[in-house]
Structure 1
Amino acid sequence: MLLAYTEKVRVLLTDMEQEETAIHQAAQLAAEAIAKGGILHCFGAGHSHMIGEELFFRAGGLVPVRPVWIDELLPQHGALRSMEAERKNGWEAIFTEQLDLRPEDVMIVVSTTGRNPAPLAAVRAAKAAGVPVIGITSVKASAETKPRGDAGMRLYEAADVVIDTHVPPGDAVLQDERLDVRFAPVSTVAATTAGHAVAAETVRLLLDWGEEAPVLLSSNIDGADEWNERLIRRWETRIPELRRGGHT
């Protein structure tokens, strides 16, 4: 099944090349934020939380990225619990209270369907603080759903910049006549690609503007600790997760 899966991923990533303009627009927001001393918050519930984890403290990635981790929304603290929590109303006040959102920041919200209350609450909390929102979502998968609870609208309708992952409804891309459901999901591959593409374009823009591009070195490269420590000291006040835990 390896070749079947990689072919589906190859087609998906080719489709995502249509998002070059959106990637540039998102990177423009991110680069402007970093140049002003702001940070990039990244929120996703369920498996989407992994995108923030992937962008955070990543060799070759941007240092000023703060993952939004709230235990109740993380599957490692109970998969069914996190699924139910994402569908609950009332998250906006929690995001507002727990996140240090400032107008110079950017919020990245990741959700394949973008229909549940939690990701939309993150959008509203950010906008209330004057923070622009980048949505990473599947427009096709989302368009086939209705907003749940107090979501009000779907992520692709609410974000300032939308990066379409082109993930099919249901996420899975392979099938077998002996099984009634599809299998082999692709949303994490697509969303991670989108996130790293935004980060890469952000680096390019910062360099074009004559700004420092705060990129982390692999800790397994000699001399990396000194390089990274300088950047961590610069951003650790805004991103406490760099040295200790954050959120709840």
Structure 2
Amino acid sequence: MLAKQWLNNARNVMSEIEETQMENIQKAAEIMADSIEKGKWVHTFGCGHATLPIEEMYPRIGGFVGFHPIVELPLTFFTNIVGQMGVDQFIFLERVEGYGREIMKGHNFDKEDTMWLFSHTGVNAVNIDIALDAKEKGMKVIVFGSAAEAKDKTTKHSCGKTLFQLADLVVDTCAPGEDASVPLKNHVDKVGPVSTMAFITAVWMTVTTVAEILADRGVKLHIHPSHNVPGDSTSKQRLADALSEYKRRIAGV
């Protein structure tokens, strides 16, 4: 049954992350915690399905203030598939050198911020632009993606390096290079990708570790609460407090 085959593949990826990436997840979390404790940001960026881990971590229930999502609409909203903002345009744009630097112009950064990038292959120009610009601004660059599988891939950026080669720290998501993991009879291409599940797994392993570090340091976290739990009379106020803290940080106060 292919459903169980995909589930087994997903479990294997999660187990491999646990077995091989805990040390780097801890290191990444410490860098992020340092930025957040100082009142700075962990900026997050990715393209295509690598925007899903960004949308997953904040704002959402159980996330907390300190993570700033940078989601460029033409690089993520391609569910039209064809026509306006379709797949063809997306594939073109993620390979355009210089686009990432233009995206960076729309935001404010500090050298004590952290840039957290997501890329399955680490070869496309827009992510590399973001990494180069972030490093020039003095930020630490952390990259999550299928690093080992991408080792022999050729960058599409004139700098000559992949995203993984530019990173200060890499967490390997352990997903297969082709992403899809389940062979289908009478077909060349497989079905059942696992990279998104791998990204989300690594994200929450990291974010919960950041929370643990900050709580141990005595730092108050502004957590996005569930506002649908019967009998919780203070959830609306806690949500308002979290959003107020987010606005305060965005304003640079």
Query: TM-score, structure 1 length as denominator?
Result: 0.92
> In structure 1, what residue type is equivalent to 2:130?
A
Q: Matches of 1:194 and 1:154 in 2, distance apart?
A: 21
Any conservation in 2 of the 1:137–1:155 contact (CA below 8 Å)?
no
Secondary structure in 2 aligned to 1:108? strand
| Residue deviations 1:198-245 (CA, integer Å, cap 9, x gap) | 1100000001111112321112233212012112111214448xxxxx
Higher helix share: 1
Instruction: Please say if 1:70 is aligned against 2:69.
Output: no
| 1:87-236 equivalence runs, <5 A | 87-150=95-158, 152-221=160-229, 222=232, 223-236=234-247
| Residue deviations 1:116-168 (CA, integer Å, cap 9, x gap) | 10111111111111111110011123113100133531121111110001111
Which residue does the alignment assign to 1:3? 4
Moved over 6 A (4+): none
Q: How many percent identity over aligned positions?
A: 27
Q: Matches of 1:124 and 1:149 in 2, distance apart?
A: 11
Larger displacement relative to structure 2 (139-148 or 182-191): 139-148
> In structure 2, what residue type is equivalent to 1:228?
L
Query: TM-score, structure 2 length as denominator?
Result: 0.90
- The structural deviation recorded for 1:44 is 0.3
Q: Matches of 1:190 and 1:232 in 2, distance apart?
A: 29
Any conservation in 2 of the 1:37–1:104 contact (CA below 8 Å)?
no
Larger displacement relative to structure 2 (143-152 or 10-19): 143-152
Larger displacement relative to structure 2 (212-221 or 33-42): 212-221
Q: Matches of 1:53 and 1:219 in 2, distance apart?
A: 19
Q: Matches of 2:126 and 2:145 in 1, distance apart?
A: 14
Runs of 5+ consecutive residues of structure 1 not aligned to the other structure: 241-248
> In structure 1, what residue type is equivalent to 2:45?
F
Any conservation in 2 of the 1:75–1:81 contact (CA below 8 Å)?
no
Which residue does the alignment assign to 1:245? none
Q: Matches of 1:96 and 1:180 in 2, distance apart?
A: 39
Secondary structure in 2 aligned to 1:41? strand
- The structural deviation recorded for 1:92 is 4.2
- The structural deviation recorded for 1:93 is 2.8
The Cα RMSD (Å) is 1.5
Which residue does the alignment assign to 2:25? 23
| Residue deviations 1:24-49 (CA, integer Å, cap 9, x gap) | 01100111111000111110011111
Larger displacement relative to structure 2 (114-123 or 64-73): 64-73
Secondary structure in 2 aligned to 1:123? helix
Any conservation in 2 of the 1:103–1:129 contact (CA below 8 Å)?
yes
Number of positions where the alignment pairs a residue of Structure 1 with one of Structure 2 = 240
- The structural deviation recorded for 1:16 is 0.5
Instruction: Please say if 1:41 is aligned against 2:52.
Output: no
Secondary structure in 1 aligned to 2:149? helix
